Amino acid sequence: MEENYVLKLKNVSKEYFGNKVLKEVNLNVKAGEIHALVGENGAGKSTLMNILFGMPVIHNTGGYTGEIIFEGKKAEIMTPNNALALGIGMVHQEFMLLPGFTITENIKLNREITKQNAISRILGDSLKSLDIEAMRKDSQAALKKLGMNIDDWVPIAGLPVGYMQFVEIAREIDKKNIKLLVFDEPTAVLAESEAEKLLDTMRNLSANGIAILFITHRLDEVLAVADSITIMRDGEQVSEMKRKDATLAKIAQIMVGRKIERVVHEARKYENNGEIVMSIRNLSVDMPGEIVKSIDMEIRKGEILGIGGLAGQGKIGIANGIMGLYKAYGEVYIGNTRLELNNPRKAIESGLAFVSEYRRGVGLLLDTSIEMNIVISSMQIQNRFLKGLFGLKMISLKDDRKIREWAMKMIKDLDIRCTGPDQLARRLSGGNQQKVCIARALTLEPEILFVSEPTRGIDIGAKKLVLDLLVKLNKELGMTIVMTSSELGELRSISDRIAIVYDGKLEGILAPTDSDVDFGLMMAGEYRSKEVV
């Protein structure tokens, strides 16, 4: 039986700086099978693949524990070259192709077929000339195997995305010793018909004896092609099943399911007739990687609205679009007045405030003091914290005394741990930087506070403090909060309603107490087809 498995991972664990991201994972892939690996973002799929490919990031951070057994032999994969030599290939999510090179050149890159010429006989092999005909013949063969009818001598640049994906695959299967092929979310960028074709190709390849490890979060595809399925959650392998035992609902539940600690307050029954403070109509946002496609939504006064979904589905785009950070189209009404989009100043003037998900890039002036970080938006837009020069109203100077007073109050209220208000924002820990961002938003005294990924990159203790703070603001000041987060658990612990975004569209709105199955299905974009399964 042992020999049947191309790849066996035994008790593989990995720590990043004391943070366990993989816990004793076992994975068994048979020759010629399609093995699906599913899980939410951050479940540990990528880390597992990095280990399999010997990526430097693994070995630079202390390596891993456990065993990799490839074709019955224990394998030490220290570099990507080791992995290639063993016959492990990878089709990347972002294409690793050189746009200016032709298809053949890309397929044969660094594995060129060469022949001797006069100079190389004297000066050595590195000056051999390319045997372009042989290279093209190989490439043609590989492309044909995939059912592609395309000239192999056109450059990559300008090809449709779907074709690029197939060129990637052609490159991998052109390697003669390929035994295991990893597909990392290959259908994410493909149109439906292209995705169909890709799945067919995968079936073909596996019929030829190549094992396929298929990483995805599109559950219908998993059911369509996979022979066996491994589900991961929080770095643990939580389930392994055969296709015949699997249903959409079952996978969804296992993928999402975890204990939800409703730590903060009782779920409020949101009332259908609550006053609407913001209505969003047909909002589309061109945020690279987080595109929003025509969303309609209502935000009610005094609620905490959660926006969830997997990475890349567009949830982050909503707040960024409304605040004017990325090009947005559609209509947004605050009460009855229409908000001018694509104008951050107007958005802030209209009583909105935003805590960006990209804290160090958009959220902070890293080399500026905490106090200036806190007051600058308010100073620039609401003209607060200013005074005239010698009483002259014409020239407005910053009012250092008022700024200091306010900053001290904020530092005390939000418990920002720092050496003083003039410390540089760069020197603070992630959690405290986040509090500075929130303090700036609060200084604007907003009607609606948008918070994106408030706990990203901060440690567990600080996470709870930040969430508690949001709840406190909501309860005590009655502030309406719209929180976008990749962590469903966190959304379910403090939100009143949770909107799930899939493929740039609103998949549905759930109550935090709804079942894991519903959340799982919605995040995978399968909620509407639930009845079918």
Report, in Å, the least distance between residue 280 CB and another protein. 19
Which run of H or of E encompasses 510?
strand 505-510
Which among 262, 266, 279, 258 is positioned nearest to 482, based on CA atoms?
Answer: 279
Is 288 one of the binding residues for another protein (CB under 8 A)? no
Stretch binding another protein (CB under 8 A), from 140-148, 228-236, 391-399, 482-490 = 391-399
Is 423 one of the binding residues for another protein (CB under 8 A)? no
Is 361 one of the binding residues for another protein (CB under 8 A)? yes
Is 430 one of the binding residues for another protein (CB under 8 A)? no
Compute the Cα dihedral for 157, 162, 168, 174 and give only its sign.
negative
Is 354 one of the binding residues for another protein (CB under 8 A)? yes
Here the tokens at position 308 are: 């969830």
CA distance 218 to 521: 10
Q: Is 297 helix (H, G, I), strand (E, B) or coil?
A: strand
Report, in Å, the least distance between residue 424 CB and another protein. 11
Is 436 one of the binding residues for another protein (CB under 8 A)? no
Report, in Å, the least distance between residue 397 CB and another protein. 5
Give the number of other CB atoms < 10 A from CB of residue 46: 18
Count of all residues that appear for the chain in the document:
533
Which of 364, 418, 451, 473 binds another protein (CB under 8 A)? It is: 364
Is 356 one of the binding residues for another protein (CB under 8 A)? yes
Report, in Å, the least distance between residue 478 CB and another protein. 25
Is 511 one of the binding residues for another protein (CB under 8 A)? no
Report, in Å, the least distance between residue 345 CB and another protein. 3
Which run of H or of E encompasses 500?
strand 497-502
Which of 42, 344, 430, 508 binds another protein (CB under 8 A)? It is: 344
Is 365 one of the binding residues for another protein (CB under 8 A)? yes
Question: 43: which residues sit within 8 A by CB, 6+ positions away?
Answer: 232, 233, 234, 235, 255
Give the number of other CB atoms < 10 A from CB of residue 21: 17
Here the tokens at position 102 are: 């032709």
Which of 259, 383, 461, 476 binds another protein (CB under 8 A)? It is: 383
| Three-state secondary structure of 78-123 | CCHHHHHHHCEEEECCCCCCCCCCEHHHHHCCCCCCEECCHHHHHH
Which among 313, 357, 321 is positioned nearest to 523, based on CA atoms?
Answer: 313
CA distance 195 to 53: 25
Q: Is 422 helix (H, G, I), strand (E, B) or coil?
A: coil
Is 316 one of the binding residues for another protein (CB under 8 A)? no
Closer CB to another protein, 118 or 394, in the complex = 394
CA distance 258 to 330: 37
Stretch binding another protein (CB under 8 A), from 194-202, 268-276, 342-350, 505-513 = 342-350
Which of 396, 456, 471, 511 binds another protein (CB under 8 A)? It is: 396
Which of 224, 381, 471, 533 binds another protein (CB under 8 A)? It is: 381
Using CB under 8 A as the criterion, what x/- string covers residues 241-280 for binding another protein? ----------------------------------------
CA within 13 Å, CB half, 159: 26
Is 372 one of the binding residues for another protein (CB under 8 A)? yes
Binding residues vs another protein (CB under 8 A) = 323, 325, 343-349, 354, 356, 358, 361-368, 372, 376-377, 379-381, 383, 386, 389, 395-398
